[in-house]
Structure 1
Amino acid sequence: MIAATLPASSGWQWLKDAFLIFRKQPFALLALLFVINMMSQILLQIPVLGAGLFIITMPIASLIVVSACRDIQGKPAGFNQLDPKTWVASLQKPKVISRLAFSGFVYAALILLLSVVLLYPLLDEQTIAQISSVLYGAQGGATTTADALPDGSTLVLLLGWAILLFIVTLMFWHVPQLIGWENQTVGKAIFYSFVASWRNKTAFLMYFLIWFVFFIFLQFVIVPLLIGVGLPALFIAFLMQVILMIMVATIYCGFYSSYAAIFGTQHRALPEE
């Protein structure tokens, strides 16, 4: 199994390919994400066990959506028939569900560790107030004074947390696909995902940067503009929810477009260990 090394511009190509996949079957993908979100909300309402069940089912849901993207991408333009059975076919393989669940647990544990070690010292009322004033002040068009900005040490810790979060994200970016499609163990899937993603780190930086710029533009330019022209707050909130759903669907499609670009769309599954 060979991972390609791609230029930084591939990050933009992944995003374009992801949106093309979404545009083929937008309602099917949005309906699938709606069902998954509804089930996630139900899980979160379960006392004590709800949060844990939500965490371990995230990779399972991710594999289902990415499998749907693969099914959509493999169909010709203008098709109307989808095959939902193929979206869950990988889950019927031995040990796949348990491995996906365990990978979700490992991912959540790493994120929790990073948050406790780096972010917990920052969670005082003054720092939270400073960050909130910057975000909501900019969104409302207010100017930000120097005193309202977090101090240098806080910014360094936030930057360190962001860098480590980027590394952890690369470690798990392809894990559901490698487990479900390639029959890899959790450890091997994390290893292959990290190596392949790190070889293409500039493309991933470009990919995440584009999403970040789009989000900032949406929050601090589009929303204030809509408020400024006098549109009702309820309509703006509804519009933002629709845009957010499209963004989430496109991000899931990006999991597949990046995987297909790095590993290829046709390769033999590795033997199960």
Structure 2
Amino acid sequence: MKLNVVPASTGKLWVRQGIRAFWKQPIALSGLFFMFMAIMSVSSLVPLVGSFIALALLPAATLGLMAATREVDLGKFPMPAILAVGFRAGKERLRDMLILGVLYACCFIGVMGVSALMDGGDFAKLYLMGGTLDADTVMKPEFQNAMWLSLLLYMPMSAVFWHAPALVHWHGVPAIKSLFFSTVACISNWRAFLVFGLLWTVIFLATALIITLLSGLIGDSDFASLTLLPAMLMLAAMFFCSTYFSFRDCFTSDTLYA
């Protein structure tokens, strides 16, 4: 396995490749993404430990979406079973994937725990346990501070775990080493990832703005509420597709596991 350092413009290429891959099989990839969301939602319903289970499944589930994108990129049709590919690659990789899941859940809950110091845990409870979000709560300085602190802490955490599931699955890297290599890859290619993140942010914000403006132009307040969520979910699916290409370009190997 070899780490590649790519130019900043590669971040734009990853976004374009992710969008292109999605539109090759939009129904299949949308369906897989909704299955991914459903798995997370159902897992979170388990009493007491539901949120932890959902978080622990996230690395393997995102790997499944990356594997589905790889299938599409190879001209194949991704079947639903591909979402569980991280659990079907042998005992060693299964163990490492479970380790990644537990570590991810612990780190994420740790981030939420730190944010609770700002607002007494209101933001953490809303994010982990759900609930109703009202305007008064959002406008509280404490709540906003907790939200921004969580985002600030999550960004380096996401770099640590970004490539880790794929490294475990496709390159057979042990869990702890995969976290180290993922961090090094993201730091080494920070320019490309900065472009990648900025472009996706612009795409999400521009889509929301266009839908809102169209809703105002046609004078139909229900238009935005009916189209905004599906549009955001579709863009989220494209985003997850693009993560596969970021991994593919950051690492090369003589052997790529199926």
Distance 2:53 2:102 in 1: 10
Instruction: Report the more deviating stretch, 237-246 or 224-233.
Output: 224-233
State the match for 1:140 in structure 2.
none
2:117 to 116, 121, 132: 121
The answer as to whether partners of 1:96 and 1:180 remain within 8 angstroms in 2 is yes
**For residue 25 of structure 2, what is the amino acid of its counterpart?**
Q
Deviations, residues 58-104 of structure 1 (Å, cap 9, x unaligned): 112112111111111012xxx7x556666655532223233222212
Distance 1:50 1:239 in 2: 30
Is the partner of 1:184 in helix, strand or coil? Answer: coil
Distance 1:10 1:109 in 2: 32
Residues 48/101 of structure 1: CA separation in 2 closer, same or farther (3 Å cut): same
Distance 2:254 2:103 in 1: 27
Q: Determine what percentage of the aligned residue pairs are the same residue.
A: 24
Residues 131/205 of structure 1: CA separation in 2 closer, same or farther (3 Å cut): farther
Deviations, residues 13-44 of structure 1 (Å, cap 9, x unaligned): 11001111111111100111122222222222
1:267 to 246, 254, 257: 254
State the match for 1:207 in structure 2.
196
The answer as to whether partners of 1:183 and 1:269 remain within 8 angstroms in 2 is no
Is the partner of 2:3 in helix, strand or coil? Answer: coil
**For residue 13 of structure 2, what is the amino acid of its counterpart?**
Q
The answer as to whether partners of 2:87 and 2:97 remain within 8 angstroms in 1 is no
Kindly state the Cα deviation for residue 250 of structure 1 after the two structures are TM-superposed.
1.0
State the match for 1:181 in structure 2.
170
Distance 2:86 2:41 in 1: 24
Kindly state the Cα deviation for residue 131 of structure 1 after the two structures are TM-superposed.
8.6
**For residue 224 of structure 2, what is the amino acid of its counterpart?**
I
The answer as to whether partners of 1:100 and 1:186 remain within 8 angstroms in 2 is yes
Distance 2:254 2:237 in 1: 25
Confirm whether residue 239 of structure 1 aligns to residue 245 of structure 2: no
Is the partner of 1:255 in helix, strand or coil? Answer: helix
State the match for 1:31 in structure 2.
31
Mark the runs of 5 or more structure 1 residues left unpaired by the alignment: 134-147
- Which structure's CA Rg is the greater one? 1
The answer as to whether partners of 2:43 and 2:50 remain within 8 angstroms in 1 is yes
Deviations, residues 103-130 of structure 1 (Å, cap 9, x unaligned): 122123223323333x2233279x9978
Instruction: Report the more deviating stretch, 46-55 or 158-167.
Output: 158-167
Instruction: Report the more deviating stretch, 177-186 or 228-237.
Output: 228-237
Kindly state the Cα deviation for residue 54 of structure 1 after the two structures are TM-superposed.
1.0
The answer as to whether partners of 2:200 and 2:239 remain within 8 angstroms in 1 is no
1:111 to 97, 100, 108: 108
Runs of at least 4 residues of structure 1 off by over 3 A? Answer: 81-90, 127-133, 157-164, 230-235
State the match for 1:62 in structure 2.
62
Distance 1:98 1:233 in 2: 50
Mark the runs of 5 or more structure 2 residues left unpaired by the alignment: 124-133
The answer as to whether partners of 2:11 and 2:192 remain within 8 angstroms in 1 is yes
**For residue 96 of structure 1, what is the amino acid of its counterpart?**
R
Q: TM-score, normalised by structure 2?
A: 0.81
**For residue 167 of structure 1, what is the amino acid of its counterpart?**
P
